[in-house]
Structure 1
Amino acid sequence: MQDRGNVFAMQWRKFWVAGLAAAAVAGSAFVASAEDAATPETKKAPCTDDAMIVFDASGSMSGNQVLGIPNSKPRIDEVRWALRQVLPSATRYRRVGLVTYGPGPYNQCNVSLAMKPTSNAAKPIMRAVNRIIPAGKTPLTSGVEQAAEALDYRNNPGVVVVVTDGEETCGRSPCELAKRLHDNAAQLTVHVIGFRYESYSWTGGNSVMDLMCLAEQNNGLYIKANDEQELVDALEKTLDCPMISQAPLNPIR
């Protein structure tokens, strides 16, 4: 009986050791698979990718009417105010640049690269925006194209955030650009914010569809903003990084 007991004890110990070994292997496999899943792409928050703001400074941005009713200040001042609230937080963890379109010779399609993606860009961007005098047409498509080029979109991930109050008026097709960006980009996101957006009566809803096309073809959002606070919310949603931008910051004065 004692021999049988010893044999049973030895077999039980072997089974117990084998079970521990199997558990250890399974545990290490689980850890390895978790580490494999956490690739550099997933470890890096997407809201730290370089970003470009495309700022509509066309003639319509000097307007101060909402549905035909005079407003207290021009639209461009409302956009400036919203940017002052958002940029200090948005530029903490990502480089941000600026493209403007509109200012320049009267009734022309002017686009300007004010700055490429830069660290701590809040104050430089606001200095550039504060100097703008709204004028000219709305070469929205060319503005987005230049912003994508500034991001080196074929080789690097990046985000474009467009703030516009009107449609393309320089003869190009936002949807055609949207497809080309989608087909050639490494990882590009295009968000479009329609701020107090107005379209011409002869284009109607087609112009809105053009803006939605830019966003939808390139992993982005089209957001309507009808006042300053809605614009702040839209900029935070598209440009800021709420997961890592927790500490309160004072807006730029």
Structure 2
Amino acid sequence: MMRLARSVATAILLLSTTTFGFAANKVIIILDASGSMWAQIDGKPKLEIARESLRTVLQSVPGDDEIGFMAYGHRQKGSCEDIELIVPPQAGSASAISAAADSMKFLGKTPLTAAVKQAAEALKYTEDKATVVLITDGLETCGGDPCALGKELEASGVDFTADVVGFGLTADEGKQIACLAENTGGKYIQASDEKALQEALVETVAAPAPAPAPEPAPAPAPAPEPAKPEFNFMPSVVLAEGGPDVSDNSNAWEIYKANADGTRGDQVMTEYGELKTSLEPGDYIVVGRADEAKVEQKLKVEAGQVYKPLFTLNAGTLIIHPHASQGAEISGEARVDFAYPGGSTTHYGDAKATVPAGEQKVTVQIGAGTVTETVQLAAGQTVEKDIVVGVGHAVLNAYYTAGGDKADNSGMGFEIVKAKKKIDGTRESVEHSYGPDSKFWLPPDDYVAITTFDIAVVEQPFSIKAGDNQDVKVTLDAGVLAMSAPGAYSIEVLSSKKDIEGKRKSLGLSYGDSWQQTIPAGDYVVVRHASDQGQDKETPVTVKAGERAEVTVQ
């Protein structure tokens, strides 16, 4: 099973090599965040394998590649509408995608067809080359038809490709979604065979580049033409009337042919920064933009004329410095959402955005803490603000005994809940994490850390204040029980004490003839279940905190 985990990482790396490597291509990665991702492979949740694979691959992606990140099933249980473009396609998005994946919850259904459709539309697949990489551990559960969608996108897209990674799917299940990739000329990778993926990676990455083609013979010199201006279109853009030009490569130009009815036709070009070009005579629609602010003008180009139009964006610039607490450094883990007149955008860490003038709603999130401020922004104005979320930091680790060995296992889970119970007796869940040194940013409050390690479950209360930096140590008061039952169909662990009806409580069951679990210290009974309807056999065992107990049931 561990081979499967390595294969998934290799599969995503292959996609990054064969797809992400082209700077002209915009890519959106779609991650399955449905509830089935909690299932484990070799004792490790599939969602953690996906997170680690993403983080590893994204470190090798060139910084100028424009990569986005979408997920489904991460906010609501049972909803087929729970699809979100979390990180829009942009250069240098690797850390933002990793942070978004690390903080994501895995709850809902699998609307993979609708998610791929939305990602294609976000990439403007009918206008530009576009690629979607889907990572899913399940099949469509919301009535979509991935095969039909693949044909539709291939027929209507300029150059659309969908690559699909089947995470832990069977061969028969894979056939049901492979058509999505095949119908768009993409790849379907079954993440279950490490050798085949490694060979593909060597072939595509390590193969020597072909020898360059010989230089063509020089073309004959063209006949001299009448002198004409070098350029006939040189636009400029300003944030506000009378303001300086914006020409620091943060602005962009989109030029389209104009249809007879005045609507946009074929795209002619997209350029960044200062633009000097020549346009053929005809009618055009030109869009000038800086970050999130844009304005368009219609233009009629006639032969022999030079055009220098001015585009006024009526926009300003917001610079947000997020802090976890008063006096803390700028947080690189912060998510900064800008809601401006007519739209919204998301940045991470120290954030700067040029947006339309007007009322701006800025929301900063660090871990489980969120704060929102409203800012009035005038055209041409730059507003710089420090926003303090007011959270503390906690690092959680578990120990078999107080002062004993640290439990160092990535399958160990921490759930942070509020200490105060609701009227129905339940507690509000705040954050989840896995493995040692689990980090949490939490608003000031009283909490309980619910630590789950195999059969051992422990609750540890603690409190957080803004600016805290706590090391929370959870004592499991547990040991390790290694069980062997040669020839058994399954092994079951029961409490040693019987209830009033003479029954023992079952604490866990595993199929096969060997099993190892972390378990609270105490007395237990290990039962060997036979596969041939033979008689079950049992053996008592005592587990001591911080120690290993081994038992064989014959």
TM-score scaled to structure 2, two decimals?
Answer: 0.31
Q: Find out whether 1:62 has 2:28 as its counterpart.
A: no
Q: Find out whether 1:188 has 2:160 as its counterpart.
A: yes
- Deviation at 1:63? 1.1
Change (3 A) 1:168 1:84: same
Change (3 A) 1:242 1:149: farther
Separation in 2 of the partners of 1:177 and 1:209?
Answer: 15
Alignment-derived partner of residue 86 in structure 1: 57
State percent identity of aligned pairs: 36
- After TM superposition, list the pairs within 5 Å mapping 1:135-154 onto structure 2: 135-154=107-126
Q: Whose strand fraction is larger, Structure 1's or Structure 2's? A: 2
Q: Find out whether 1:76 has 2:35 as its counterpart.
A: no
Deviations 1:208-252 (A, max 9, x none): 33311110111100001138x78x969x89xx9889xxxxxxxxx
Alignment-derived partner of residue 175 in structure 2: 209
Separation in 1 of the partners of 2:79 and 2:198?
Answer: 32
Alignment-derived partner of residue 21 in structure 1: none
Separation in 2 of the partners of 1:195 and 1:143?
Answer: 17
Change (3 A) 1:177 1:193: same
Residue pair 1:99, 1:146 contacting (<8 A) in 2 also: no
AA in 2 matched with 1:158 = A
Deviations 1:72-92 (A, max 9, x none): 211010011111111022243
Deviations 1:90-124 (A, max 9, x none): 24341000110111222212111112211011100
Separation in 1 of the partners of 2:198 and 2:113?
Answer: 24
Where does the alignment leave 5 or more consecutive residues of structure 1 unmatched?
1-44, 199-203, 244-253
User: Structure with the greater relative contact order (CA < 8 A, sep ≥ 6): 1 or 2?
Assistant: 1
TM-score scaled to structure 1, two decimals?
Answer: 0.66
Q: Find out whether 1:53 has 2:25 as its counterpart.
A: no
Q: Whose helix fraction is larger, Structure 1's or Structure 2's? A: 1
Separation in 2 of the partners of 1:47 and 1:209?
Answer: 28
Residue pair 1:191, 1:220 contacting (<8 A) in 2 also: yes
Residue pair 1:98, 1:147 contacting (<8 A) in 2 also: no
Q: For residue 160 of structure 2, give the secondary structure of its aligned residue in structure 1.
A: strand
Q: Given the alignment, which residue of 133, 136, 151 partners 1:164?
A: 136
Separation in 1 of the partners of 2:119 and 2:206?
Answer: 24
In the alignment of these two chains, the number of paired residues is 185
Deviations 1:166-217 (A, max 9, x none): 100001111111111011100011100001125xxxxx93x53331111011
Q: Find out whether 1:102 has 2:68 as its counterpart.
A: no
Alignment-derived partner of residue 179 in structure 1: 151
Change (3 A) 1:135 1:156: same
Separation in 1 of the partners of 2:62 and 2:180?
Answer: 24
AA in 1 matched with 2:43 = S
Q: Find out whether 1:220 has 2:186 as its counterpart.
A: yes
Separation in 2 of the partners of 1:46 and 1:116?
Answer: 18
Change (3 A) 1:242 1:220: farther
Separation in 1 of the partners of 2:128 and 2:21?
Answer: 12
Could you say what the CA RMSD is over the residues aligned between the two structures, in angstroms? Answer: 2.9
